[in-house]
């Protein structure tokens, strides 16, 4: 089943961008149950399965990147690839606010072993040159990665808290922020800040788990075989090609390949 026909089971996930007055801190929060529900439908429909540790890591990364996207300008599309030593995997997540999507996958085969954990970030925005950054990260928790990313790449403090009921909150420091309050943020403060602080909702965005890949978008990835079609198809009338963003397998026929 192609992603265009994907069976969404949950409502779009509302992500709130909230300014904490007098603390000069931006808080971005959302409950990701519906995104996770669609993610699991995606796995089921496409006969995909990750071991529990990797499944949890990918879900957390989807949540954390979604919050970061909402903390950023609307027109940006951001992709993260995290190359880990242990477990030796590449974790990929990407999303954008314009189309309000988030998707991702885990690569487990033929992953090179790095000497350290590296997070690669690429940001695309219309009419602007792509921006790429690379940072070393510690640990295997995406909530920790985003804090390290803000410190090293965003060059301002960030703190991500996971709460019950699959809720995450990302706090991002603004100029002249209350450093003492920011450093004191824990699960209790994250759960109660809208009740204990003066806040203002700046905006909300709606996100779904969705890729949007199809055979037309996969075909260009096979361009390197344009003059080696026989080598690619090996006598068969079709070949399988996996989406690098969501791991869906697409069937490419020889006719589609020759007519691209």
Please name the residue ranges forming H helices in the chain.
Answer: 33-45, 52-71, 142-149, 179-184, 187-196, 215-218, 229-233, 254-259
Sheet (strand 118-124) strand order: 131-136, 118-124, 77-83, 90-96, 101-107, 199-209, 13-20, 25-31, 167-173, 158-163
7 confidence band (pLDDT: 50, 70, 90): low
pTM of the model: 0.91
Mean pLDDT of the 29-48 span: 95
The per-residue pLDDT for range 156-213, each reduced to its tens digit, is: 999 999 999 999 999 999 999 999 999 999 999 999 999 999 999 999 999 999 998 8
Mean pLDDT of the 119-142 span: 94
pLDDT value for 226: 77
Average pLDDT of the chain is 92
Strand, coil or helix: what is 17? Answer: strand
224 φ, ψ (degrees, to nearest 5): -65, -15
The per-residue pLDDT for range 87-114, each reduced to its tens digit, is: 999 999 999 999 999 999 999 998 888 8
- Kindly give, in sequence order, each residue whose CB lies less than 8 Å from that of residue 84, ignoring residues fewer than 6 positions away: 90, 91, 114, 117, 140
8 confidence band (pLDDT: 50, 70, 90): low
d(CA 213, CA 225): 20
- Kindly give, in sequence order, each residue whose CB lies less than 8 Å from that of residue 253, ignoring residues fewer than 6 positions away: 237, 238
- Kindly give, in sequence order, each residue whose CB lies less than 8 Å from that of residue 8, ignoring residues fewer than 6 positions away: 38, 41, 208, 210
Mean pLDDT of the 126-132 span: 90
Task: Identify the residue whose tokens are 């919050």.
Answer: 67
pLDDT value for 42: 95
Mean pLDDT of the 22-41 span: 97
The two structure tokens encoding residue 188:
């209790």
Q: What domains are defined for the chain?
A: 3-209 (3.55.30.10), 215-259 (3.90.1280.10)
């Amino acid at each position: 089943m192609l992603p265009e026909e994907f069976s969404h089971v949950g409502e779009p996930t509302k992500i709130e961008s909230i300014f904490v007055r007098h603390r000069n801190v931006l808080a971005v929060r959302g409950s990701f149950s519906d995104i996770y529900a669609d993610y699991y439908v995606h796995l089921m429909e496409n006969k995909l399965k990750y071991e529990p540790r990797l499944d949890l890591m990918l879900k957390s990364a989807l949540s954390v990147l979604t919050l970061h996207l909402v903390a950023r300008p609307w027109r940006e599309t951001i992709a993260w690839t995290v190359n880990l030593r242990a477990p030796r995997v590449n974790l990929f997540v990407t999303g954008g606010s314009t189309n309000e999507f988030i998707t991702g996958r885990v690569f487990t085969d033929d992953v090179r072993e790095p000497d350290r954990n590296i997070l690669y970030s690429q940001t695309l925005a219309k009419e602007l040159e792509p921006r790429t950054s690379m940072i070393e990260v510690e640990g295997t928790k995406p909530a920790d990665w985003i804090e390290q990313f803000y410190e090293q790449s965003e060059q301002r403090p960030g703190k991500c808290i996971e709460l019950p009921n699959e809720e995450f909150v990302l706090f991002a420091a603004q100029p002249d922020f209350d450093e003492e309050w920011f450093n004191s943020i824990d699960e209790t403060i994250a759960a109660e800040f809208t009740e204990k602080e003066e806040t203002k909702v700046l905006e909300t965005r709606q996100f779904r788990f969705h890729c949007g890949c199809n055979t037309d978008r996969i075909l260009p990835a096979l361009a390197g075989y344009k003059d080696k079609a026989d080598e690619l198809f090996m006598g068969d009338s079709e070949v399988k090609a996996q989406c690098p963003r969501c791991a869906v397998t697409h069937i490419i026929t020889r006719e589609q390949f020759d007519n691209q």
